[in-house]
Structure 1
């Protein structure tokens, strides 16, 4: 039973940064539907013990891997679309080097260009941001996944962030903000990407995955 892999794909569509309770609940739901006889053998206490010892750590690692894939695809899409207009950068560079790169006029121009048309001469042309999203999420997507891509795109070229490694707490706030706008069908505008009004939050009932996401 490849429970971890299958559940992670389902979970990421609902919660980009799932809590431990959400992870456990997702596994319970999956097993109840797909492996009922196996799941029915557990008492409540035995199940919690089994989940903690055999599933949770693997699941949080897999969820992070799925986020990492979305992050990598987003970065690749941005650099692919802008091409030579966007100067190269080593993603392992230090904060000072990344900050210097993000302050380059070419990078700022590309950041602003996310909301410009792919083909300015065509009134029906989509904006660059839409093309990035389409490249990353080719086979349909949930609102949660879309919110995560928007959070990534609002960070990679943003000079307000002197790093490419995304801080988990900041990303969670961005995802929450964009998800709220998506659910309310509010148009996303450039000022939403410029916004840097985020603060570090204390952790609560989160997964044990405390590492930052590498974009």
Structure 2
């Protein structure tokens, strides 16, 4: 199961760039350090792609549907389920959401998002507000954790607030947050 999930993650990652194209979404090097990732996520192009996931393109297809269909071939998955779409949306939210400082699709972050998006699919469908609600909860949880335990020994990256700026962190702090070690 883990190998399938890893392959699905890679397919979705590749599909994001294939569907949006380099013109709309600048490339991100796989060996980018934390400061490069934060700069990339804060770019206008990435923010536009993140917001457009829930918007129809010129052909009246939703961008998120195009990414999901590209990631899961019709041969392997003849009919996309809500599970496939929620998984794809979770990956896109983690990778493209400018409020998140990380592009790592950890099991914890994926599970939180997939559950939220599946619930949304069962009650009318996910929206940009769904993604924002997840980020708000993560921000609130991290702020609460910081208040309760001011001396954290295991650092976990926090999402940026809506008005937050990545410039308040040093390169070393961002490298540590993204687990970049030279």
Fold match by TM threshold 0.5? yes
CA RMSD of aligned residues (A): 1.9
Q: What does residue 82 of structure 1 align with?
A: 20
For residues 144 and 127 of structure 1, do their structure 2 counterparts lie closer, same or farther at Cα, with a shift above 3 Å needed? closer
* CA separation of 1:187 and 1:143: change in aligned 2, threshold 3 A: closer
Contact 1:94 1:163 survives alignment (8 Å): no
Distance across 1 between alignment mates of 2:67 and 2:124 = 19
TM-score (norm 2): 0.65
The count of corresponding residues between Structure 1 and Structure 2 is 133
Structure 1: gaps (5+ residues): 1-62, 201-215
1:78-111 deviation digits (Å, cap 9, x = unpaired): 1111112111101332222111100011111111
Residue 156 in structure 1 maps to residue 95 in structure 2: yes
Does residue 72 in structure 1 map to residue 4 in structure 2? no
Asked if 1 retains the 8 angstrom alpha-carbon contact of 2:53 and 2:62, the reply is yes
Which of the residues 144, 147, 152 maps onto 2:86?
147
Distance 1:146 1:109 in 2: 20
With the length of structure 1 as denominator, give the TM-score of the two structures.
0.56
Q: Which has the larger radius of gyration?
A: 1
Alignment partner, residue 160 of structure 2: none
CA deviation after TM superposition for structure 1 residue 141, in Å: 4.0
1:110-154: CA deviations, max 9, x gaps? 1112222221xx5xx111111111112232344333321121111
